[in-house]
Every structure is written in structure tokens, then in C-alpha cells.
Amino acid sequence: MTTKEVKTRSETALPQMALSLVPHRDAMLLLDELNEYAPEHGVGKTIVRTENIFLDNTGKLDNVCLVELLAQLCAAHKGYESLKDGSAVKNGYLAGISNFSFKKSARLGESLRLESNQTAEINDVVIISGTVHAGQDCLATGDIKIYTIKHPPSEEGELSPPVVFSDQKRGEPQQPNVSNKRSIIYNAVLNKLEKAKLSEGEGFASAEYCFDEGFPGFSGHFPTGAILPGVVMIDMSIALCETLLGSPLELVSIDRSKFLQVVVPGNRINVEVNVTESNEQDEILYRVRSKLKHEDKPAADLTFSIKKESLT
């Protein structure tokens, strides 16, 4: 065995820290490590820490974070492939979500096991089926689509240079800051909601958002050019639903979501929601159809279900 072969095996030994495999950094680096790899299968791990911007002060993680974690697992899987064969790193963007069900929320200090199985790869789109577990509890299951390209687009719409990975340490779980009940990122979304128009009797509402570079969702997503995470578009829609219904809401499932346009700092986004109430298994749910646009061009088309947040 040559020295080069030994070095290569050492460099590709598992587990691999996510920061060496994915472009995410700072607040948006949520995955800790890739633990298992097969060509169409991956297993990752993360610990829910107090610095997670999706964590509220009760120690509960926003459900949309589980979608983002699976997307980052997919990115780590592709990054590991590139590490093994020496090919150019491909960056991924969440293109779609379907049949996603949230069974239980993750909590501060929990170790989450994330598992992905690639079910298809068509041109530059990868389709995976994923699960999230905390111990023996299944927290979420669903399918996501990832659009992959070699380098992320810059704010000018051109391809950016390759990402240069920097070192970054992860902290240990701590008690959350109790100064605010909602998560940092959700509060930031709520604070940017403006020009709301409500028609409660018809279950319709519209509003506008515009995020500057200081918005926490842009922090490390990505270092070469800030791009709004797709899951934040779901939060934008939920925040508008809360304004319409006058109650905190919890995401129950995502039936189908398509992300159609990159959103960068300074883009003004119009959001419209149509909300229908239903009673399923003695529980009141709200089915939501949401459309997001930038300059009259579709940015996202979302269908999901929510319920009023439990007080217990």
C-alpha cells in the first residue's frame, strides 16, 4: 500500500465533520457530521444546541429545521463523494418537499440521527427519502428534492468561485436564552412582515417581506453569496397565517412545496395564503396553500398543514 493510498483512506475515514463537506457556515451550519456513506444512502448526526437559530426558549426546535437538516445531510453526502473521488464540489439548493410529516418536535440537547435514501437522480436534481430520529422516537419522515450545481450563483446571478472551507468549532448544549419564546429566525421573520391584508372570513391574507443582509437565515447560507433558505419561505407563510388566525401555529405536515426562484438580500417578496379549516381525528387542522412572488415571478408554491400550538 502506498503512502498516497494510506493518506487517502485517512482523509476519507468516517465520521467526517459536516463543515468539511458542505458550504454552509455560521448560523446556518446545522449538521454536525456524516457517519455512514453508501452511493445512495447516508446517515448523519447533530446535537440540538442553544446556538441553533431555530430553537425557541422552551427548548423546542422549529419543525422546519428538520427539513433543512436532511437537505444538509444530502449536501454532506455529495460532498463526501467529491472528497473520495477528487471531483469538483457540487452545491445543492432545496428545490422541493413532499409527503413530509412531523410526528414530534426535537428538543434541546437531543442527539438526532438523520438518514437519507436516494430514490432518483434526474440531470441535476436528486430526490431523497429521509427520516429524523431522536433515540427510538421518529420525529419526521418525508421526501425532498435537491438541485445541484458546481458553484452557487452570486447576487448578480453569475456563478461564484469555489467555496473555501474554513475551520469552525461547534459548542456543547446549554440552557436556552429565556428572553424570548420564539426562535431567533422566526422572530426575525415576524419582524419583517409588513403591509398585511387580512380577510378572515374568506381565509385569505397577503403581506410583503424584505430581508437585509443582517437576516439570520443569510448567515453562512452561503459564504460566497447570501441566499434565503427554502425553509424560511415556509416560516414566512406560517407567520402570515398566525397574523390571520391570531394564534401561534405549529407545522404538522408539508404535502407539496416547490422553490422556484433564488431570493437574495433586498428582494421584496409578496406572500399570499389561503387557509381552510378541517377536523381530522378530533383535531382541528388548517390546510394552507401559499404562493410567494418576487417581481411578479413565482418564488415558491407551498401546500402544508398547521395547527394551533399546544399550551402544554
| Span 238-277, pLDDT tens digits | 999 999 999 999 999 999 999 999 999 999 999 999 999 9
According to the model, what pLDDT value does residue 8 have?
66
Q: Taking 80 as the threshold, does the pLDDT of residue 41 lie above it?
A: yes
Pick from 82, 78, 66: nearest CA to 118: 78
Domain membership of residue 173 (yes or no) is no
Q: Taking 90 as the threshold, does the pLDDT of residue 5 lie above it?
A: no
- Please tell me whether residues 229 and 134 are part of one structural domain: no
Q: Containing domain of residue 246, as a range?
A: 180-312
Domain ends where: 150, 170, 198? 150
**Residue 137 DSSP code:** E
pTM for the predicted model, two decimal places: 0.88
How far, in Å, CA of 66 to CA of 140, rounded? 7
Domain membership of residue 174 (yes or no) is no
Condensed to tens digits (0 to 9), the pLDDT of residues 22-39 reads: 999 999 999 999 999 999
Pick from 160, 151, 2: nearest CA to 82: 151
- Please tell me whether residues 138 and 207 are part of one structural domain: no
For the record, the C-alpha cell of 287 comes out as: 390546510
How far, in Å, CA of 300 to CA of 16, rounded? 33
CATH code for position 77: 3.10.129.10
Domain membership of residue 120 (yes or no) is yes
Domain ends where: 130, 150, 170? 150
How far, in Å, CA of 68 to CA of 165, rounded? 20
How far, in Å, CA of 294 to CA of 76, rounded? 30
- Please tell me whether residues 69 and 195 are part of one structural domain: no
Q: Number of folded domains in the chain?
A: 2
Per-residue confidence band for 10, with pLDDT thresholds at 50, 70 and 90: low
